[in-house]
Amino acid sequence: MSTSTTATQSSPHAPLSPTARALVEVALAMGGFGIGTGEFAIMGLLPNVATGLGVTTPQAGHAISAYALGVVVGAPIIAVLAAKLTRRHLLLLLMAIFAVGNLVSAFAPGYLSFVFLRFLTGLPHGAYFGVAALVAASMVAPNRRTQAVARVMTGLTIATLVGTPVATWFGQELSWRLAFGIVGGIGILTVALIWFFLPQDKVRPGASPLRELAAFKRKSIWLTLGVGAVGFGGFFSVFSYIASTATEVAMMPTYLVPMIMTLFGLGCVLGNLAGAWLADKSLMKTIGGTLIWSAFFQTLLWLTASNPYALSACVFLCGCGIAIGPALQIRLMDVAADSQTLAAALNHSGFNIANALGAWLGGLAITAGYGFASTGWVGALLAVAGMGVFALAVQDDRRRKTAIRV
């Protein structure tokens, strides 16, 4: 029996009705909505955060990198230490930590404390999405797993469409601190939804930290993580500074920044759903195709950023690059064997390495005097580098299949 089939059939729950399954997906997606709003809203509020804390915009960008670092560190540590917790209990704990972290972030007294609190708030992020993906995939047939994961991830993409623009507007008009208070409230709501709709489950037989740690021995897992960590960095290089690119390069008025964020969100929603459908047809082709797509449109953004209409179109099309997310999630679950929780959680570690790398390299290019539009070519270079890692992953797959036949 294949790894994917085994993972799917090892659901800890009794079979759920379509309505019950939908309610579980809504509850999990609400957590993604809160996490996405909290992670992405700051990208539209960087100028406001910088002013409020008395630092430069690139310095305020360090808060983005700190959050991403928290995800990278938190995902594997939590997945290993919580190996003997049920998935329901773990999801409740992770979302409670996230909610408290955002509420406290809203009251950070200064720059250093804010950056530190963003790091702490990022700790549960990767493990939450990883466990939520496992729960979603366990409720459907093997050939629909990516679409189930994408429905949970829809909360994250809708955050870029609705949550982030709304939080950006509140942050600009009232206070950037209010945005984090709102995110904390969404976290509390998610705790309640998971409590009511996700059935009790049992700890997996044989679950242990050592079994989860076995994931680190698998080359295929490292290569898949590398694709996300490097190739997806361009997504964040562009998005981290999109507000400043719109106002400083395209000379768009500040009140149109939420519109730009909405366009990016529309691209994310479309890319997430379309990418999942394609991935259930051909997983590896979807991953490779998305990297090519991202490299092309990030280059185009760099070349046309001074034109408000071209910038708007490129922002939408760059947002579609999130299609790689559900595909990489399933890829990790397929190559993880018995280390499902750690492998699934590591997907978002990879993405947040991309987040930190993209924001950092984009900031370096801006500070070096290349301007905010330079985030486009920085992103394109990262996508091309991701193609190189992807080529190694494909080669490794072929080598392993040949060895099995022999």
Span 191-215, pLDDT tens digits = 999 999 988 877 676 666 767 776 7
For 365-386, the three-class secondary structure string (H helix, E strand, C coil) is HHHHHHCCCHHHHHHHHHHHHH
Q: How far apart (Å, rounded) are the C-alpha atoms in residues 233 and 228?
A: 8
Interior angle at CA 164, CA 96 and CA 300, nearest 5: 130
Give the torsion sign (CA, 390, 293, 136, 26): positive
The string of DSSP codes covering 262-308 is HHHHHHHHHHHHHHHHHHHH-HHHHHHHHHHHHHHHHHHHHHHTTSH
- CA dihedral 6→8→13→19, nearest 10 degrees, is -160
Per-residue pLDDT tens for 87-99? 889 999 999 999 9
Specify the fold of 3-405: Growth Hormone; Chain: A; (1.20.1250)
Lowest mean pLDDT among 38-52, 234-248, 285-299: 38-52
R_g (Cα) of the chain, nearest Å = 20
Crossing angle of helices 145-158 and 125-138, rounded to 10°: 140
Average pLDDT across the chain, whole number: 84
What is the C-alpha separation between 305 and 206, in angstroms, rounded? 54
pLDDT of residue 13: 53
CA distance 242 to 127: 28
Over residues 45-63, mean pLDDT: 78
- In the prediction, which pLDDT does 34 show? 92
pLDDT tens-digit profile of 138-192? 888 878 888 888 898 888 888 877 777 777 777 777 788 888 888 999 999 999 9
Chain segment 359-379, per-residue pLDDT in tens: 889 889 998 888 888 999 999
